[in-house]
A and B are shown apart, each in its own frame.
Chain A
Amino acid sequence: MHDSLSHPSLSHQEPPHQTKAATERYFWIEPVLVGAALALFVLYSLWEVFFQVHGRYHNYLSPYFSPDLGRWLKIPVFPALWVAWVPLLFRASCYYYRREYYRAWFGSPPACAVPDRRTRYTGETRPPMVWTYFHRFFFYLSTVVVVFLWVDALHGFDFGGRFGIGLGSLLLLVDAALLSLYTFSCHAFRHLAGGNLNCYRCKPRRPRARYHLWRVISRLNQHHGLYAWISMFWVWGTAVYVRLLILGLIRDPRLLR
């Protein structure tokens, strides 16, 4: 193109006056709610991990302690820590949660077309944020955790060798299901399932299965944010429920003996 592309007569400073960013006067409501919810969840999680030594109530195992690696390895301190870091870092590096906490905690930006609260911004170019590129490893590890969650959820129906259903069993079962949905709708998995391919049919012997898998994951992935929230609150709720049982503050209603 021609040199007049770089225009000499225009100053490249900000235009002096802009229309008021007035429409979304209540833009701050969302980041405040999200920020508070995430912060409370993190605080609760830290409390579970660092201040609790066991998470078992008969056949129920709190999701924070599943699998109960700390006890298997006979490590006396912080038994939950040996597993809980996986789902926590999986969520911390998740493409959806990143959107939420960048907006809510860092105000980068708080909402669209609202000025960024930070003056220095490096995006995800340097540590620690550049480590979010390791998201897929947390995905791999999370799939292992999910397997144990299912195992422990099934244990939740085993009342001393006899099948039964308590409220806790159902909570644990749904918990495992929601975490599976969240885990397998992950962006990294979408990529590994087929997003990394440039053609699905152009190589004659390439299995179309990758294409169909990618399609399914892509569809799930559209609701990844929803699954993220529901599963988070469900884990939270389940953990609180089991904790309250352990503390003896409530009783587990048995629905089927």
Chain B
Amino acid sequence: MNIDPLHYDVLIVGAGGAGLRAALAAAEEGARVAVLSKSLLGKAHTVMAEGGIAAALGNLDPYDSFDTHFYDTMKAGHFLNNYRMVSLYTQEAPDRVLELETWGAVFDRTEDGRIMQRPFGAHSFRRLAHVGDSTGKELIRTLEYKILATKRVDVYPEVITTRLFLDDNGRAAGAFCYQRDDGRFLIFSAHAVIMASGGWGRVYKVSSNSWESTGDGAAISFRAGAELMDMEMVQFHPTGMVWPPGVRGILVTEGVRGEGGLLFNSQNERFMLRYDPERKELSARDVVSRSIFREVQAGRGTPHGGAWLDISHKGPAYIKRKLPTMYEQFLKLADLDITRERFEVAPTTHYTMGGLRVEAETGATNIEGLYACGETAAGLHGGNRLGGNSLGDLLVFGRRAGLAAAAYAARRPGTSSLSYSSIEEERRRVLAPFAIESGENPYLIHAQLQQLMSTYAGIMRSGTSLTDGLGHLERLSERANRMSADGGLHFNPGWGLVFDVQNMLTLARAILTGARERRESRGAHWRTDYPDEDPEEGRRNIVQTLGPDGRIKVRDEPVPEMPPDLRRLFDDPVSPGVKRQREEASRARGSEGA
């Protein structure tokens, strides 16, 4: 077997928005970069992001500013966020958006020729730079072509990463991978490794995520000793498709509500007026999801267990212009014309706020030389992510991680040494599924895991359900040890799924453990036995590490304390921008009166 490692300065696991942005940043610093893509270039889950990129450009609402965006993000995250990340994010996001434009992205425009911004749930102002309802596609396509034109970046398409290697000093040193098309093993050695492999929404049954979102980067880093944080925080997007069964969970963009869509229950009541009379349909995602869930629980759900979403009052021309993808998606997949009819929606697993614990400025993890960014990293979104903040997250922290990793790689002397025995050990492990006779079917284990997680750690949890879930997961994991693969090495999805399922089992355990540990309801985490926020609980992030014995160790990490000037922003019930706007308005009224 050929085990000559491929050497790079920076190795990036994941070719979504975060991975590609990190690669560009690292290459700009002169590093030689390898990007490992689980599917083809430009197909990563980023492509599915629809609504837009939240950045306080203030093109439509001049009162918008980074402190207002900061306020909105912290508040939506229920103050579990790392305020330093939020502050960096809100300050840098506008530059990152403009940079995309320089690279060729074509955003929707205002009448005076600037980037158009749309309103979104729990944002104080119209803030999301967007391209119809396919902003993610625009983002990844732009980065894709930028990467293709960048020297020093090698993209390895359709590569599965199964293990992170550390050197003798405990520093990240490389990774073990195989190519999907021919099953060839690839060993990478690198001075710095960035995990940008996205989230793990596929842990749940109803999910808006593509098959790739199995949390590979987070799981293999966790196994190598990295810390996971806020794992209990899984975002359920309020509006996923419900019917027909084949499309269950596929996302219906928040843009539908942003553009004026209204939610109704089976009794034609606009129930959001009851749950959040202030922001109504455009409340934070956790609130809207829970509201729909409660309506269904109370027997006021639609025929297939959801709520009605209605945008038809906006007229066909407007809908087709602003939401072309949604129009097409329903027409083709559900035989339904959203310009004329309302349609069913229900919460769907969408985003994992938790992930690898990182340093705000650099994305550095507790393992030296290992960085994380994007959905794989935790901290920016806290207890609930604001719509539009993920695309910005990819760009801001992708760049930061890329810069930091390149700088670290340049500092680090010599080549990273990989131990032959660990490579050999991993090679045997990766091939093992073929040797197991009449083993477990990974598709079945996956389906059972999804069922388990949806039942015991779904949108609504309790201490008992989580403990039960952990018990079931234990038994499932035991069976999963005997997952087997048929066929050959060439493009064998069944074989690949074995590792996906292993990763998901690891992360599912962390979700259950974290959720059991957080004894309160906060953001996306809703415990029936602790229905309220607990200020004490809100002061800690739950951090998990994997012990050498394979047991998870849980510890508390205090949520970083905001400095007084930022803290003071929250003394007001409204965001700084809205406050300024109101003051201005009242001054104007005052001068009129005089």
- Assess A/B contact in the complex (Cβ within 8 A): yes
With a CB–CB cut-off of 8 A, which chain A residues contact B113?
Answer: 201
Contact of B154 among A2, A7, A9 (CB under 8 A): A2
With a CB–CB cut-off of 8 A, which chain B residues contact A4?
Answer: 156, 179
Distance, CA A9 to CA B491, complexed state (A): 13
With a CB–CB cut-off of 8 A, which chain A residues contact B358?
Answer: none
Is there a chain A Cβ closer than 8 Å to B181's Cβ? yes
Is there a chain A Cβ closer than 8 Å to B588's Cβ? no
Indicate if the CB atoms of A2 and B179 lie closer than 8 Å. no
Which 7 interchain pairs have the tightest Cβ spacing? A2-B154, A1-B155, A2-B156, A9-B182, A1-B154, A2-B155, A4-B156
State whether A7 and B181 are in contact (beta carbons under 8 Å apart), knowing that A1-B155, A2-B154, A2-B156 are contacts in the complex.
yes
* Interface residues contributed by chain B, number (CB under 8 Å): 9
Interface residues on A, range: under 10
A2-B34, A2-B154, A4-B179 are known; give 10 further A-B pairs, CB within 8 A: A1-B148, A1-B154, A1-B155, A2-B155, A2-B156, A4-B156, A7-B181, A7-B182, A9-B182, A201-B113
Interface of B is mostly: strand
Which residue of chain A lies nearest to B113 when distances are taken between CB atoms in the complex?
A: A201
Those of B141-188 within 8 Å (CB) of chain A: 148, 154-156, 179, 181-182
Most buried by A among B113, B179, B182: B182
Distance, CA A1 to CA B470, complexed state (A): 43
Distance, CA A201 to CA B154, complexed state (A): 40
With a CB–CB cut-off of 8 A, which chain A residues contact B182?
Answer: 7, 9
How many Å from the CB of A11 to the closest CB on chain B? Answer: 13
Distance, CA A7 to CA B156, complexed state (A): 12
With a CB–CB cut-off of 8 A, which chain B residues contact A7?
Answer: 181-182
Distance, CA A90 to CA B593, complexed state (A): 71
With a CB–CB cut-off of 8 A, which chain B residues contact A201?
Answer: 113
B508-535 near A? 1/0 per residue, CB < 8 Å: 0000000000000000000000000000
How many Å from the CB of A6 to the closest CB on chain B? Answer: 12
Distance, CA A7 to CA B155, complexed state (A): 14
Which residue of chain A lies nearest to B153 when distances are taken between CB atoms in the complex?
A: A1
How many Å from the CB of B388 to the closest CB on chain A? Answer: 28
Which residue of chain A lies nearest to B179 when distances are taken between CB atoms in the complex?
A: A4
Distance, CA A187 to CA B286, complexed state (A): 52
With a CB–CB cut-off of 8 A, which chain A residues contact B179?
Answer: 4
Distance, CA A4 to CA B155, complexed state (A): 10
Distance, CA A100 to CA B181, complexed state (A): 40
Distance, CA A7 to CA B157, complexed state (A): 12
Distance, CA A7 to CA B113, complexed state (A): 46
With a CB–CB cut-off of 8 A, which chain B residues contact A2?
Answer: 34, 154-156
With a CB–CB cut-off of 8 A, which chain A residues contact B154?
Answer: 1-2
Distance, CA A201 to CA B155, complexed state (A): 39
Which residue of chain B lies nearest to A202 when distances are taken between CB atoms in the complex?
A: B113
With a CB–CB cut-off of 8 A, which chain B residues contact A9?
Answer: 182
Distance, CA A1 to CA B156, complexed state (A): 7
How many Å from the CB of A199 to the closest CB on chain B? Answer: 11
A153-166 near B? 1/0 per residue, CB < 8 Å: 00000000000000
With a CB–CB cut-off of 8 A, which chain A residues contact B34?
Answer: 2
Those of B255-294 within 8 Å (CB) of chain A: none
Which residue of chain B lies nearest to A2 when distances are taken between CB atoms in the complex?
A: B154
Those of A1-38 within 8 Å (CB) of chain B: 1-2, 4, 7, 9
How many Å from the CB of B191 to the closest CB on chain A? Answer: 18
Which residue of chain B lies nearest to A201 when distances are taken between CB atoms in the complex?
A: B113
Which residue of chain A lies nearest to B181 when distances are taken between CB atoms in the complex?
A: A7
Distance, CA A70 to CA B113, complexed state (A): 56
A-B residue pairs in contact (CB < 8 Å), sample of 13: A1-B148, A1-B154, A1-B155, A2-B34, A2-B154, A2-B155, A2-B156, A4-B156, A4-B179, A7-B181, A7-B182, A9-B182, A201-B113
Distance, CA A9 to CA B183, complexed state (A): 12
With a CB–CB cut-off of 8 A, which chain A residues contact B155?
Answer: 1-2
Distance, CA A2 to CA B23, complexed state (A): 14
Distance, CA A2 to CA B148, complexed state (A): 11
Distance, CA A4 to CA B183, complexed state (A): 13
How many Å from the CB of B38 to the closest CB on chain A? Answer: 15
How many Å from the CB of B41 to the closest CB on chain A? Answer: 8
How many Å from the CB of B192 to the closest CB on chain A? Answer: 19
How many Å from the CB of A206 to the closest CB on chain B? Answer: 14
With a CB–CB cut-off of 8 A, which chain B residues contact A1?
Answer: 148, 154-155
How many Å from the CB of B36 to the closest CB on chain A? Answer: 10
Distance, CA A7 to CA B179, complexed state (A): 12
Distance, CA A9 to CA B182, complexed state (A): 8
Most buried by B among A1, A7, A9, A201: A1
With a CB–CB cut-off of 8 A, which chain A residues contact B181?
Answer: 7
Distance, CA A234 to CA B523, complexed state (A): 70
B179-216 near A? 1/0 per residue, CB < 8 Å: 10110000000000000000000000000000000000
Distance, CA A4 to CA B179, complexed state (A): 10
Distance, CA A201 to CA B113, complexed state (A): 9
How many Å from the CB of A140 to the closest CB on chain B? Answer: 34
How many Å from the CB of A158 to the closest CB on chain B? Answer: 47
How many Å from the CB of A139 to the closest CB on chain B? Answer: 31
B561-579 near A? 1/0 per residue, CB < 8 Å: 0000000000000000000
How many Å from the CB of B144 to the closest CB on chain A? Answer: 11
